[in-house]
Amino acid sequence: MTTDPAVHPAWLPEASFAPLGSRRVAVDLRDDVSPVGATVRAEVAAAVAAHGGAVVDADHMSPDVVFALVPGDTDPEAFTVTSSGGAVTIAASDARGLLYGLFHLVRRGEAAFDATDGTRRHAPHSPLRMLDHWDNIVVHPVMGQVERGYSGGSIFYADGSVREDLARVGQYARLLAASGINRVAINNVNVGPLETRLIGDLLPDVVRIADVFRPYGITTHVSVSWASPVRLGGLTTSDPASPDVQEWWAGAADRVWAAIPDFGGFVIKADSEGQPGPFAYGRTHADGANMLAAAVAPHGGLVHWRAFVYNHEQDWRDRRTDRAKAAFEHFAPYDGTFADNVIVQIKHGPLDFQVREAMSPAIAALPGTRVAPEFQVTTEYLGHQRHAVYLGRMWSELLGFPYWGAEDGRTLADVAAGRHPSGDGTRVGGFAAVSNVGDDVFWTGHPFSQANLYAWGRLTWDPTLDPIGILDEWIGLTFPGAPAAVRETVHAVLDESWETYELYTAPLGVCFMVQPGSHYGPSPDGYEYSPWGTYHFADRDGIGVDRTRATGTGFTGQYPAPWSDVYESLETCPDELLLFFHHVPYSHVLHSGTTVIQHVYDTHFEGLERVLESVRLWTEAEDAFPADVAERVSDRFAEQVRSTTDWRDVINTYFLRKSGIQDAHGRTIY
């Protein structure tokens, strides 16, 4: 719990502990000796020491707050809050529940003690709430220390090895526990030769990291290379059918769990973007996943097997291949065959974390499989934490997507919790997301991007939370006691910032109009003639990808009803996904009443206008913010304005030149 004063405290500044720390607090953990129990005691002791309260005996001294271990609840992370006459009791069957209860009190502040009398149980939506770090031990010549990281170096690694001093990881663990995250994968899914050794001779370093995460209820996972038996074990094959390979993995698992008995398991990216996998041996992803699963099963371990499998060496001339179809094609046929301890981790969209793309139909196609939808907290395609973009609303919309229509009501979040309409209710998965944290003093590059990390944790705990309410919590915690202007300004800048980003970047569900490689800034044809399979097919007459069954790639057929028909038909396809599913002329009239081309112009002008308005509001209020935050945010806004202007002019000019159709309002396009 030692915090480095040089590092921004994010949503746990000392002041947020005042309501708890100024009270008389009893901690009744019976004979619990768990590391998390020790954390609960230490957090309470530190809070009362800092804020004038006291640790008291529950039986004799009528405390204001009681933390009590009470047997009964089958969910070790759940807790109940009982309010009675201004006093509050947090009860849980496990210290982990008490820790979440403690952070619940911190989050609620004084309001927790004003609550009307009563008892309420709080429990997480699912038991797997994971962050994946794409951190490399060795700095990658192109991707850097943290792949798709925009927050400096890695908090885990420096100078080619695991950091000696992991205090920063401890602070991170505390922040994550206070938001609801309970698992972290510590290295990139693109696993290099050195990183492969994390389950070999570098295992003692993983032990050290797990030791730092454990007291905050966070389980450690490692990304492994499919080629480990060859790279580490000296075998000549990684064929999952080979008894030698099976034995090697079983031995590797034995060694890992002997060193870290509560280790979480392996994350794996196989046969994807150049990573090795079972295809090389003519095996399926089910063969591969189940072989690994058998190795870790005796230890209660999990295999997070990623479904991001597609052909990245596609010929753009070949119109039959549609990258969007790949995950479904590779995984749906094997539904029901994955072992109980395999979690198939599927990106929320069928392409790659775009600002707007359709939902992945693969997520709905695996009723007999444990599924974890994967999200990106780091903003690879959403402005690299240089643009102020709050993602809570986007995630909330995605998590609430009714895969079988509004009448059925079951959502993406329901599937993650095992509530698939054709499932038996036992296939409980969870959530995963790529972290946005680095060794930056603000953790996330843009100070406002902290709100995304916070929101991700909160939504994994309860996907039905109001994302603007979560943002409000974050503001209150991060800027305690700040004048009203701070709250108002952050809301004004962030509440609709996802929609704003969509306005000034790729329109109507067109994807990948970004600079190849970096994925920052506009490049409408950047991926148009590339092997990556991400095309929009703009020509002089129109734009969009025909993914219909009638005339296109047939992707719409991967959806359950009603979406298979809703997306198939031009009449019913929602405007925001029109170009994801259909190729239309620029003169096509949207449901909104405007044409495609005019929509492009209007939204790109509006997007920049909105950003300039945000900057105006920010400039008026920046003095109300802490000086270090103000300085960083102002720098980021300067870049956002430059970049947004670029987006507006490049996209508008591209479409004017393609279509030859003038802007109806005669604005400047180049």
Residues taking part in catalysis? 273, 352, 380
Nearer to ligand GCV, 101 or 288 (CB): 288
Length reported for the chain: 670
Nearer to ligand GCV, 351 or 486 (CB): 351
Burial of 287 (0-12, 13-18, 19+ CB in 10 A): middle
Contact pattern for ligand GCV over residues 364 through 383, marking x by CB under 6 A: ----------------x---
Helix (H, G, I), strand (E, B) or coil at 119: strand
Unique residue bearing structure tokens 């309409």 = 421
Six token digits for residue 399: 């998590």
Unique residue bearing structure tokens 């993406």 = 412
Nearest approach, Cβ of 151 to ligand GCV (angstroms)?
Answer: 15
Q: Beta strands 135-140 and 144-146: pairing type? A: antiparallel
Residue 14, CA distances (Å) to 112, 173, 220, 475 in order: 17, 16, 27, 15
Q: Which one among 11, 17, 79, 134 touches ligand GCV, defined by CB under 6 A?
A: 134
Q: Which one among 352, 440, 473, 576 touches ligand GCV, defined by CB under 6 A?
A: 352
Nearer to ligand GCV, 274 or 481 (CB): 274
308 binds ligand GCV (CB under 6 A): yes
Q: Are 660 and 669 in contact (CB under 8 A)?
A: no
Site for ligand GCV in 138-157 (CB under 6 A): 147-148
Nearest approach, Cβ of 374 to ligand GCV (angstroms)?
Answer: 8
Nearer to ligand GCV, 357 or 380 (CB): 380
**439-459 as b/e: b if 16+ CB within 10 A:** bbebbbbbbbbbbbbbbbbbb
Could you give the CA distance from residue 77 to residue 276 in angstroms, rounded to a whole number? 37
Nearer to ligand GCV, 190 or 379 (CB): 190
Site for ligand GCV in 541-580 (CB under 6 A): none
345 binds ligand GCV (CB under 6 A): no
133 binds ligand GCV (CB under 6 A): no
Q: Are 25 and 492 in contact (CB under 8 A)?
A: no
Nearer to ligand GCV, 182 or 190 (CB): 190
Could you give the CA distance from residue 284 to residue 214 in angstroms, rounded to a whole number? 35
Nearer to ligand GCV, 190 or 652 (CB): 190
Six token digits for residue 547: 């993914």
The site that binds ligand GCV (CB under 6 A) totals a number of residues, namely 10
Nearer to ligand GCV, 169 or 189 (CB): 189
Site for ligand GCV in 263-292 (CB under 6 A): 269, 273
Nearest approach, Cβ of 410 to ligand GCV (angstroms)?
Answer: 26
Nearer to ligand GCV, 39 or 187 (CB): 187
Integer distance in angstroms from the first to the last C-alpha of the chain? 56
Q: Are 615 and 603 in contact (CB under 8 A)?
A: no
What residues pair up with 402 in beta bridges, in sequence order? Answer: 411
Q: Are 570 and 582 in contact (CB under 8 A)?
A: yes
Nearest approach, Cβ of 320 to ligand GCV (angstroms)?
Answer: 22
Six token digits for residue 533: 């399979």
**Other beta carbons less than 10 A from residue 284's beta carbon:** 18
Instruction: Identify how many contiguous H helices and E strands the chain contains and give both numbers.
Output: 22, 20
> Under the phi-then-psi rule, with left for phi > 0, alpha for psi from -120 to 50, and beta for the rest, what region is 636?
alpha
Nearest approach, Cβ of 147 to ligand GCV (angstroms)?
Answer: 5
Could you give the CA distance from residue 530 to residue 132 in angstroms, rounded to a whole number? 28
Q: Are 267 and 132 in contact (CB under 8 A)?
A: yes
Nearest approach, Cβ of 184 to ligand GCV (angstroms)?
Answer: 16
Nearest approach, Cβ of 347 to ligand GCV (angstroms)?
Answer: 7
Nearer to ligand GCV, 228 or 354 (CB): 354
Six token digits for residue 284: 């399926």
DSSP state of 378: S
Residue 174 parent element (H or E): helix 167-179
Nearest approach, Cβ of 652 to ligand GCV (angstroms)?
Answer: 26
The set of residues, in sequence order, having a beta carbon less than 8 Å from that of 7 and lying 6+ positions away, is 168, 171, 441, 443
Q: Are 474 and 494 in contact (CB under 8 A)?
A: no
Site for ligand GCV in 171-200 (CB under 6 A): 189-190
Nearest approach, Cβ of 407 to ligand GCV (angstroms)?
Answer: 34
Nearest approach, Cβ of 304 to ligand GCV (angstroms)?
Answer: 12
Contact pattern for ligand GCV over residues 230 through 269, marking x by CB under 6 A: ---------------------------------------x
Six token digits for residue 46: 């530190």
Nearer to ligand GCV, 215 or 349 (CB): 349
Nearest approach, Cβ of 148 to ligand GCV (angstroms)?
Answer: 5
Unique residue bearing structure tokens 């229509």 = 405
Nearer to ligand GCV, 147 or 335 (CB): 147
Nearest to 51 by CA among 97, 12, 17, 95: 17
Residue 92, CA distances (Å) to 33, 66, 71, 103, 622 in order: 15, 11, 7, 13, 42
Residue 69 parent element (H or E): strand 65-69
Nearest approach, Cβ of 273 to ligand GCV (angstroms)?
Answer: 6
Burial of 164 (0-12, 13-18, 19+ CB in 10 A): exposed
Contact residues for ligand GCV, defined by CB under 6 A: 134, 147-148, 189-190, 269, 273, 308, 352, 380
